[in-house]
Amino acid sequence: MRFLYTIGQRQLPDAFIEVDELLRRVGDVASTSKWETACYLEYLLGRFVYAQPFRLKRDARLRDAVLRLLDALVSSGSSAAYRMRDDFVTPLPSLPPTVAPL
């Protein structure tokens, strides 16, 4: 998580899929060795949940991974993740269809 937080941010948001798989193997966010892991994850998820929700929701694998990560953070007691999850599951407003030029 520290790598993604510092120099690996170019790998995001696709790296959330890898993080989700890793945390599922470990068990959950609370069972990781340091509490900083949850803090880094909250920060990184917040950057995308609030700033780029369309990008996260467009890909089903990425959407599911982000939702599982948020659920794990909520289970470990994160109020920030609770708010993010609430915003993330709220449907996005539909955009009007664009008219193709003739």
Query: Does residue 70 lie in a domain region?
Result: yes
The total of structural domains in the chain comes to 1
pLDDT of residue 102: 52
Q: Which domain holds residue 64?
A: 2-89
Encoded tokens for 13:
């948001």
CA-based angle 96:99:100, to the nearest 5?
145
Q: What's the CA gap between 80 and 48, in Å, rounded?
A: 14
Query: Does residue 95 lie in a domain region?
Result: no
Query: Does residue 16 lie in a domain region?
Result: yes
Query: Does residue 97 lie in a domain region?
Result: no
Question: Is residue 78 a contact partner of residue 38, using CB atoms and an 8 Å limit?
Answer: yes
Question: Is residue 10 a contact partner of residue 56, using CB atoms and an 8 Å limit?
Answer: no
Query: Does residue 98 lie in a domain region?
Result: no
Encoded tokens for 11:
């790998």
By percentage, how much of the chain surpasses pLDDT 90?
A: 45
pTM for the full predicted model: 0.79
Query: Does residue 8 lie in a domain region?
Result: yes
Query: Does residue 27 lie in a domain region?
Result: yes
pLDDT per residue over 5-48, tens digit each? 888 888 999 999 999 998 888 775 555 556 788 899 999 999 99
Query: Does residue 75 lie in a domain region?
Result: yes
